[in-house]
């Protein structure tokens, strides 16, 4: 990085640190400070405000401002409609997203480039540890406990991977150090959608393997969507390699894939495929669609005051915030995405994948996603003003 002060360099490194802290599971041994993600985000914002003036790009002030106001609208909908305070997580993710969008392209790409390379190393080491555990070779730092709606689930803390308690008895899903395997699967799908395969050839195959081993239905569906969307330009060689790789993985993990993926799709009732909502919540949600609350929701904190079982995804967000907030979010995010990446077939394909994933994960300002979606299109620039 040329002609940057040490405080500006620290600011950029903090921007790079934020997504890794946010990816780190809250029940991991490495999450040694309560609310660590909040503190790191606030520290990054502090440096950005006081020492990041030379890093800022004002050319996109208007679109970023429009997006910012839209996010404030969505986040504060429960406050205005029901008098309920916004969630802290949504606020600090929003602040990171806006501050990142205001960075100059060369600095956004510097963060993206380092993020992809470091994440690939972490996943690669995690995959090695995963394979060794399957062979009976392990070294754990301690026992972990994850609180879920059904109770407490035990895990083991490895160095680069978290292992479920049943790891020695059956095939288990790769989750690296994240909250759960679906995080790895969705993130890998987004990276594979957007990554420059020529520039990041090794990283591309690492993310492919990590996504496959996560046994995430979202990963497989998003990857299939991407392959179908790019079939007109896909090389036959790559298609054959993909088929052979998929066949090999299915042969090795046949039972696990049948249990966690195939059996979820091969059902008579399509509602059984959706495991993001409990039966109780689905009934409540159907009643909600016919009620007067459908525009503004019932409130974010009111939702958690009731016992609806384990629920996630867009249905839950609609129930909390209402359809107006969802529409505002949909149009504002699509608008800012096109303003940063241009309007063409490839970007439309990525945006469709984002909204497909939104059905099951609604963290629209999740820092790893923000870095990927608003920097990947800069990979072709050759005159970036920094040293890689």
- At residue 170, the pLDDT reads 83
Phi then psi for 28, rounded to 5 degrees? -75, 150
For the chain, residues with pLDDT lower than 50 are: 269-270, 272, 382-388
Which secondary structure element, helix H or strand E, spans residue 150, and what is its range?
none
Listed residue (112, 49, 121) closest to 369, CA to CA: 112
Report the 3 state secondary structure along 91-112: HHHHHHHHHHHCECHHHHHHHH
- At residue 379, the pLDDT reads 74
Listed residue (381, 386, 385) closest to 342, CA to CA: 381
- At residue 100, the pLDDT reads 97
Phi then psi for 267, rounded to 5 degrees? -135, 155
The beta-carbon contacts of 192-195 under 8 Å, at least 24 apart in sequence, are: 192/223, 192/226, 193/222, 193/226, 193/349, 193/350, 193/353, 194/350, 194/372, 194/373, 194/376, 194/377, 195/116, 195/376
Q: Is the pTM of this model over 0.85?
A: yes
Contacts of 384 (CB under 8 A, 6+ apart): 105, 106, 109, 110, 378
- At residue 246, the pLDDT reads 61
Residue 95 to residue 200: CA distance in whole angstroms:
29
Listed residue (69, 67, 87, 80) closest to 296, CA to CA: 80
- Report the Cα 96 to chain-centroid distance in Å: 14
- At residue 333, the pLDDT reads 97
Helix axes 181-194, 105-134, angle to 10 degrees: 130
- At residue 335, the pLDDT reads 96
Tokens 């050839």 locate to 201
* Residues 12-71: tens digit of each pLDDT: 999 999 999 999 999 999 998 999 999 999 999 999 999 999 999 989 899 999 999 999
């Amino acid at each position: 990085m040329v002609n940057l002060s040490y405080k500006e360099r620290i600011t950029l490194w903090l921007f790079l640190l934020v997504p890794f802290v946010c990816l780190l599971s809250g029940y991991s041994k490495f999450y040694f400070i309560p609310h660590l993600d909040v503190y790191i985000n606030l520290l990054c914002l502090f440096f950005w405000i006081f020492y990041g003036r030379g890093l800022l790009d004002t050319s996109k002030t208007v679109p970023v401002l429009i997006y910012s106001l839209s996010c404030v609208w969505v986040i504060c909908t429960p406050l205005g409609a029901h008098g309920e305070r916004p969630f802290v997580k949504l606020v600090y993710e929003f602040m990171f997203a806006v501050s990142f969008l205001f960075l100059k392209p060369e600095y956004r790409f510097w963060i993206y480039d380092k993020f992809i390379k470091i994440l690939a190393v972490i996943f690669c080491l995690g995959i090695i540890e995963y394979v060794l555990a399957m062979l009976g070779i392990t070294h754990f730092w301690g026992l972990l406990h994850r609180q879920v709606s059904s109770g407490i689930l035990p895990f083991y803390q490895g160095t680069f991977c978290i292992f479920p308690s049943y790891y020695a008895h059956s095939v288990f899903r790769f989750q690296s150090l994240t909250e759960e395997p679906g995080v790895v699967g969705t993130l890998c799908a987004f990276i594979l959608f957007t990554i420059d395969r020529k520039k990041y050839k090794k990283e591309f195959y690492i993310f492919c393997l990590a996504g496959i081993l996560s046994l995430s239905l979202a990963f497989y569906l998003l990857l299939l969507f991407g392959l179908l969307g790019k079939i007109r330009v896909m090389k036959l060689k790559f298609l054959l390699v993909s088929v052979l790789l998929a066949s090999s993985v299915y042969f090795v993990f046949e039972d696990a894939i049948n249990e966690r993926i195939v059996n979820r799709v091969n059902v008579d009732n399509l509602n059984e495929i959706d495991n993001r909502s409990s039966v109780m919540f689905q009934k409540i949600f159907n009643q909600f669609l016919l009620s007067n609350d459908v525009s503004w929701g019932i409130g974010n904190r009111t939702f958690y005051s009731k016992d609806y079982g384990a629920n996630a995804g867009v249905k839950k967000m609609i129930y909390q915030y209402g359809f107006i907030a969802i529409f505002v979010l949909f149009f504002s995010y699509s608008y800012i995405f096109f303003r940063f990446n241009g309007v063409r077939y490839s970007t439309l394909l990525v945006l469709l994948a984002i909204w497909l994933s939104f059905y099951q994960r609604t963290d629209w300002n999740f820092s790893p996603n923000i870095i990927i979606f608003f920097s990947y299109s800069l990979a072709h620039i050759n005159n970036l003003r920094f040293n890689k």
